[in-house]
Amino acid sequence: MSKKGAPETRSSSRRQFLKSAGLTGAVMAAGARSAWSQAANAESNPENLPPHVADWSKYPGQGVADRPYGKPSKFEAHVVRRDVEWLTATRQSSVNFTPWHELDGIITPNGLCFERHHGGAPDISPADHRLMIHGLVDKPLIFSMSDILRMPRVNRVFFLECAANSGMEWRGPQLNGCQFTHGMIHNVMYTGVPLKVVLNEVGLKPNAKWLLVEGGDAAGMNRSLPMEKALDDCLLAFKMNGEALRPEQGYPLRLVVPGWEGNIWVKWLRRIEVGDKPWLAREETSKYTDLMADGRARRFTFVMDAKSVITNPSPQAPLRFRGQNVLTGIAWSGRGAITRVDVTLDGGRNWREARIDGPVLERSVTRFYVDFDWQGEELLIQSRCHDSTGYLQPTKNELRAIRGVNSIYHNNGIQTWLVRANGETENVEIS
């Protein structure tokens, strides 16, 4: 078993990440442990415990007018998105991460969905937002938000995973926490209009094969989307988890491309150009390739393969009690539904089938559990998932054997956490 990689390996991997992501000028921040699980570890106040009457039982609480828009309890203040300062050159063109170790079930609360944007997040007035569709169409049109809100809509739960999720981990364990190794994914229910409804309205020419989808942010993010996918299950979404999209997630309108890498889910969607081939020179796709060991690159790797991670225990959520414990995690596949998750506690010698609980949906996060007994022994824990195509999540070394270590993107290898006798948990790899 090799523990965390040697510092040289780590920094060269980091440089590689920054280089491939087109980013420079990063500085390594001190990895001081912050106060993430403070609330749960806080000392009890005996005055509030039986046989005393707790303070909050003696006086009325806050009234209904105190919270026109509700927020979590102050005791949950550590449950936040976090970024890694040295990862990107600026905080506008950057990323923050979903705190999966603090969540349960399958839905990510809107305020905790990781953000990735290349030019900062604008807050656009829906009254001023327009979606233009032109190119190889019978009738080019400009849609206002009120036009879109009067079209037939649907509700669908999907995960969005950035292709760079776990991108730092190609050369060895780098970041201590599933928030950082696996936090570039969120899973929400979208409400939106199927893209095919809008495309029907403009009418497609017979040679219409590709769309250029473009955002209204300062980055003007654009990607080429094949027509087949556009007509299959893509949505023009305006709501997530029932309420309007948050500005950082593309308010007032974003593209939803189920199962495909996050980059193509264009936010603040302002323009769709219909063409007969992809816009290779212009668009972001030229950057979103997977560099292989021999210098060749994989292109159009749109689909996110099956992947899973144990969120508890994990470095930010160590084990605290002996005896009964709950291990939990998430699994997802861009190719279909999760059919089964296996968990090992002893580095792969023995596997047991995890208990899946909650909705099992296609292209959505699925929640799994293992209820287990812990007597302070060291554990090497891993999860591996199977999807409805029969695919089994690979080990990191199986991935490296095919893809090398030059890539940033599409790392869906099995994650290992080492749980020490004192419950502290670390990102490691088993060789």
Query: Is 252 one of the binding residues for ligand MTE (CB under 6 A)?
Result: no
Q: Is the peptide bond before 109 cis (omega within 30 degrees of 0)?
A: no
Q: Smallest distance from the beta carbon of 261 to Co ion, in angstroms?
A: 7
Query: What is the per-residue binding string for ligand MTE in 380-419, x denoting contact by CB under 6 A?
Result: ----------------------------------------
CA torsion through residues 166, 32, 381, 349, sign: positive
Can you spell out the DSSP letters for 335-401?
A: TS-EEEEEEESBTTSS-EEPEE-S---TTS-EEEEEEEEE-S--EEEEEEEEETTS-BPPPHHHHHH
Nearer to ligand MTE, 167 or 177 (CB): 167
3-state secondary structure of 143: strand
Query: Is 168 one of the binding residues for ligand MTE (CB under 6 A)?
Result: no
Can you spell out the DSSP letters for 68-122?
A: SS----GGGTT---B--GGGSS-SSSEE-B--GGG--SSPPPGGGS--EESS---
Residue from 87, 133, 162, 354 binding Co ion (CB under 5 A) = 162
Residue from 14, 82, 101, 116 binding Co ion (CB under 5 A) = 116
Q: Could you tell me which stretch among 57-65, 109-117, 187-195, 292-300 binds ligand MTE (CB under 6 A)?
A: 109-117
Measure Cα distances from 35 to 32, 40, 73, 98 in Å.
10, 10, 16, 16
Q: Could you tell me which stretch among 134-142, 212-220, 324-332, 409-417 binds ligand MTE (CB under 6 A)?
A: 212-220
DSSP character at residue 217? S
Nearer to Co ion, 263 or 285 (CB): 263
Query: Is 271 one of the binding residues for Co ion (CB under 5 A)?
Result: no
Query: Is 117 one of the binding residues for ligand MTE (CB under 6 A)?
Result: yes
Query: What is the per-residue binding string for ligand MTE in 213-242, x denoting contact by CB under 6 A?
Result: --x-x-x-x---------------------
Query: Is 262 one of the binding residues for ligand MTE (CB under 6 A)?
Result: yes
Residue from 268, 302, 369, 417 binding ligand MTE (CB under 6 A) = 268
- Residues lying near ligand MTE in the complex (CB under 6 A): 113-118, 160, 162, 186, 215, 217, 219, 221, 248-249, 262-263, 265-268
- Residues lying near Co ion in the complex (CB under 5 A): 116, 162, 262-263
